[in-house]
Chain A
Amino acid sequence: NAGVMQNPRHLVRRRGQEARLRCSPMKGHSHVYWYRQLPEEGLKFMVYLQKENIIDESGMPKERFSAEFPKEGPSILRIQQVVRGDSAAYFCASSPSQGAFGNTIYFGEGSWLTVV
C-alpha cells in the first residue's frame, strides 16, 4: 500500500516564478494537510482540505499561496511569485477521515523548495 506521495522531491525556482507541489494521499484517505518546515523550525500548519473543499486555511499566507484538492488527481499547493523566504520543506499528510480525533496522520517524504 503506497504511502503519501509527493512530487517533486526537490524543486529550484528563481524569484518571481511559480512553484507547484503535488500530493497524492494514501489509498482510502480523503483528507489532506499541508505543512511548511523552515530550517531549524517546527512544522507549521498551512491548510486542510477534503476533496473539492478547503476546510481550514488559517495557516496559509494571505497572498501568493493557494491549495486545491480536486475530485480527480492530487492535491496541489501553488506558490506564485516565489521569494527567497519561501525556501522550505513542504510536507503533505493525509488521514482516512477527519484528522486528529484519534486518526493517525501520515506524512509524505516532503518537497524541498529552493528559491534562488
Chain B
Amino acid sequence: GQNIDQPTEMTATEGAIVQINCTYQTSGFNGLFWYQQHAGEAPTFLSYNVLDGLEEKGRFSSFLSRSKGYSYLLLKELQMKDSASYLCAVPYQAGTALIFGKGTTLSVSS
C-alpha cells in the first residue's frame, strides 16, 4: 500500500524561502506529484517528478530521491498568495488514481 507523510503546518514570511518535505512508501513507483490547494478551492497541479533530481519551474522547484522515498517542494520569494495547503501525491498501487498526503498548510505573513 501507500503511505505519505508531510508536516501538518509551516509558517514563513514574505520574501523568504520555504521547503516542504514529503516522505512516501509505495509498492511500485510511478512518479510523485505536488498540488496546491487554497482554502475552499480545487487542488491545482504544481509539479511532477519521476526521475531523481531537482525540477525548477519559476519560484517553485521540486526535488525527488527515489532511493530515499523523499521529495520536497521549494518555494522561493514567498508571497502572501502562497498561503495554501500543499499536497504530495503518488499513484495508487495499481498505477491509476493518485493517493494524497494530508497536506502541509503554509501560512505566509508580512
Binding site for B on A (CB under 8 A): 4, 33, 35, 41-45, 48, 55-56, 58-59, 91, 98-102, 104-110
Question: In the assembled complex, which residues on chain B have CB atoms less than 8 Å from the CB atom of A43?
Answer: 43, 87, 100
How far, in angstroms, from A4 to B102 measured CA to CA in the complex?
23
Question: In the assembled complex, which residues on chain B have CB atoms less than 8 Å from the CB atom of A59?
Answer: 97
A42 and B100 contact, CB distance less than 8 A: yes
Nearest A residue to B88 by beta-carbon distance?
Answer: A42
A104 and B42 contact, CB distance less than 8 A: no
B96 and A102 contact, CB distance less than 8 A: no
Question: In the assembled complex, which residues on chain B have CB atoms less than 8 Å from the CB atom of A106?
Answer: 45
Question: In the assembled complex, which residues on chain A have CB atoms less than 8 Å from the CB atom of B33?
Answer: 100, 104-105
How far, in angstroms, from A43 to B42 measured CA to CA in the complex?
11
How far, in angstroms, from A97 to B22 measured CA to CA in the complex?
27
The answer to the question of B99 belonging to the interface, with a C-beta cut-off of 8 Å to chain A, is yes
B41 and A56 contact, CB distance less than 8 A: no
Question: In the assembled complex, which residues on chain A have CB atoms less than 8 Å from the CB atom of B94?
Answer: 56
Q: How many residues of B contact A (CB 8 A)?
A: 24
B66 to chain A, nearest CB (A): 15
Nearest B residue to A31 by beta-carbon distance?
Answer: B96
Nearest B residue to A104 by beta-carbon distance?
Answer: B45
A101 and B31 contact, CB distance less than 8 A: yes
A109 and B42 contact, CB distance less than 8 A: yes
The answer to the question of B92 belonging to the interface, with a C-beta cut-off of 8 Å to chain A, is yes
Interface centre among A43, A91, A102, A107 (most CB of B within 10 A): A43
Nearest A residue to B93 by beta-carbon distance?
Answer: A58
B6 to chain A, nearest CB (A): 9
Contact of B98 (CB < 8 Å), options: A4, A98, A105, A109: A105
A98 and B42 contact, CB distance less than 8 A: no
How far, in angstroms, from A9 to B87 measured CA to CA in the complex?
22
- Report 17 cross-chain contacts, Cβ distance below 8 Å, ordered by A residue: A4-B42, A42-B87, A43-B100, A45-B92, A45-B98, A45-B100, A56-B94, A58-B92, A59-B97, A98-B96, A99-B91, A100-B92, A100-B95, A104-B33, A104-B45, A105-B98, A107-B35
